[in-house]
Amino acid sequence: MSADLSPVAVVGLGRIGLPLAARYAARGLNVTGCDIDPALVEQVAQGHCPYPDERGLANALHLAHTAGRLTATTDTSAAVARSKVVIIIVPVGLTADKHADFTALDDAAKAVAAGLRRDTLVILETTVPAGTTRSRLGPLLERSGLRVGREILLAYSPERVFVGRILADLRKYPKIVGGVDEASAQRAAAFYEKALDATVMRVGNCETAEFVKLAETTYRDVNIALANELARAAASHGVDILEAIAAANSQPFSHIHQPGVGVGGHCIPVYPYFLLDGAAEAQLPRAARRINDGMARYAVERLAEALGDLRGKTVLILGLSYRPNVKEATFSSALLLARELAAAGARVLVHDPNYSADEIGRFGLEAAAFPPAHTDALVIQAPHDEYRDLDPASFPGCSVVLDGRNALSKEKVEALGLRYLGIGR
């Protein structure tokens, strides 16, 4: 291993940063994970996995810990001072007015700057608006007294992984790399060629690399919005949208996604706004955000029509997580559904096998027994495996099932004497 590529400091031990650290350790690098959460750092330092639903991570952490390749600390500056490569992957979310919230990134950058040494390579992997690496992160790092492009190297490489299968995705997808200059790009590419199994794909500069991730996620959001618009149109014509999409996608130029009650997670509800930060005239991304966030209201309106009125009715939302089989509720459509149901006068109950009643309560929601003593309607928001063999007839009082992910058999639900509502079905 080149002395220029190890040790490595990974700043941010979240759902993506920790698997990155474990993967680097598996490739023979000495890695220090840095985080401001002492409890998380203690878990990692002991080789314990804080994300049990991330496939393969527990074993990877155990092996890295046993081999002495992975340690953890809350002292980011000290870890940076003894590292040749620094990976920054801390959250950048949204402010109340839908702009990038750089609070965590700025704090991390200042901590990194306090420990920077000459010839260190810094790579940002957090998804950010185009121009952030050069124009925001660079000046913060230069508080170290070292100049970007001369004494320190700076590059950007977007994370392109899916929570729950991150270690597999790190081997599968090309690693995009762009630098603030040629030397930074070369060193970053050399690092990833050593640290990962994936093909490394260099692009012209860090702004291009930043834009790649914004384009990927905005494409998905716009495509889902199209599917949702098609679903609403299909419903008005008595067409089953699932059948129509499957047939349309048999043509190789058609890649229509699936409709649903909304889009959640850290990425798709957030990153189109980063694109809009530098392209205010762009119309499709803004419209897609409005359409996808509006699907919760559309679903609740359909439910109200089926029940006659939601006032005084009890509605059970199944799935707090934003997607199946993960414990992550960031921007979950469950939150939008709960808000719309409550506004319509319903009592809202929530169940999710991944969350305790106390955890659900922290979202301001009422946790339900499973099944509850009474519910007038079920809403399938996240079709976890535990709901795969769901028997709606076992829920006392239930007369309507709103299948927000088109995950259930319409025929089976209706055979039980219940009203089935799908999205575009």
260 domain residue, yes or no? yes
- CATH number for the domain that contains residue 218: 1.10.1040.10
Range of the domain at 275: 213-292
Asked whether the beta carbons of 21 and 55 are under 8 A apart, the reply is no
Q: Which residues are catalytic?
A: 213, 267
pLDDT, tens digit (0-9, with 9 covering 90-100), for 40-66: 999 999 999 999 999 999 999 999 999
44 plus 99 within the same structural domain? yes
Q: Which residues contact 241 (CB under 8 A, 6 or more apart)?
A: 227, 230, 231, 234, 235, 259, 406, 423, 424, 425
Domain boundary among 163, 186, 204: 204
Domain boundary among 257, 292, 327: 292
Q: How far is CA 9 from CA 28, 32, 203, in A?
A: 14, 5, 24
90 plus 24 within the same structural domain? yes
pLDDT, tens digit (0-9, with 9 covering 90-100), for 235-260: 999 999 999 999 999 999 999 999 99
22 plus 138 within the same structural domain? yes
54 plus 155 within the same structural domain? yes
Query: CA quadruple 20, 269, 92, 340: dihedral positive or negative?
Result: negative
User: Which among 305, 311, 300 has a CA at the least distance from the CA of 262?
Assistant: 300
270 plus 155 within the same structural domain? no
47 plus 185 within the same structural domain? yes
Asked whether the beta carbons of 2 and 191 are under 8 A apart, the reply is no
Asked whether the beta carbons of 105 and 133 are under 8 A apart, the reply is no
pLDDT, residue 389, reads 87
Q: Which residues contact 8 (CB under 8 A, 6 or more apart)?
A: 21, 24, 29, 30, 31, 32, 83, 84, 85, 86, 87, 195
Measured distance CA(343)–CA(186) in Å, rounded: 55
165 plus 218 within the same structural domain? no
238 plus 103 within the same structural domain? no
35 domain residue, yes or no? yes
Question: Helix or strand or coil: residue 420?
Answer: strand
- CATH number for the domain that contains residue 44: 3.40.50.720
65 domain residue, yes or no? yes
pLDDT, residue 278, reads 85
pLDDT at 26 > cutoff 90: yes
236 plus 103 within the same structural domain? no
pLDDT at 1 > cutoff 70: no
168 plus 111 within the same structural domain? yes
pLDDT, residue 3, reads 52
Question: Helix or strand or coil: residue 25?
Answer: helix
Q: Which residues contact 199 (CB under 8 A, 6 or more apart)?
A: 174, 175
67 plus 173 within the same structural domain? yes
157 plus 228 within the same structural domain? no
370 domain residue, yes or no? no
pLDDT at 4 > cutoff 80: no
Q: Strands 100-101, 93-94: parallel, antiparallel or unpaired by DSSP?
A: antiparallel
pLDDT, residue 388, reads 87
pLDDT, residue 280, reads 84
pLDDT at 323 > cutoff 60: yes
309 domain residue, yes or no? no
Measured distance CA(407)–CA(260) in Å, rounded: 10
* Percent of the chain predicted with pLDDT > 90: 96
Measured distance CA(407)–CA(98) in Å, rounded: 31
pLDDT, residue 381, reads 98
User: Which among 21, 25, 32, 18 has a CA at the least distance from the CA of 67?
Assistant: 25
Sequence-ordered alpha helix ranges (H) in 102-181: 103-115, 132, 138-141, 166-172
Average pLDDT of the residues in 259-273: 96
Instruction: Give the mean pLDDT of the chain.
Output: 96
Report the domain count for the chain: 2
Cis check: omega of the bond before 19, within 30 degrees of 0: no
Domain boundary among 292, 307, 339: 292
| Residue 358: count of CB within 10 angstroms of its CB | 8
